Amino acid sequence: MSTNLDPRWEWVDISDFANPDLWVRGECNHLTPEPVHAEPTGELVAHLCPDCNAQLPAEWQP
């Protein structure tokens, strides 16, 4: 695997004979989720992934 691929995403190897190092970006790994807190209780209600804008459950662990 190439070392310069962004670790925030899954990468799919689509290399072939003519293109031996070809990758397409796959699923987001949600590595840096931002916690979302309810107002005014401050309760953790969800996470938001800044890379793909997905809403993740409060218990999300990257």
List residues binding Zn ion (CB under 5 A). 28, 30, 49, 51-52, 54
Nearer to Zn ion among residue 28 and residue 45 (C-beta): 28
On whether the CB atoms of residues 30 and 42 are closer than 8 A, the answer is no
Closest approach of Cβ 51 to Zn ion, in Å?
4
On whether the CB atoms of residues 21 and 4 are closer than 8 A, the answer is no
Nearer to Zn ion among residue 7 and residue 42 (C-beta): 7
Residue 43 φ/ψ region, left for φ over 0, alpha for ψ in the -120 to 50 degree band, beta for the rest = beta
Nearer to Zn ion among residue 45 and residue 51 (C-beta): 51
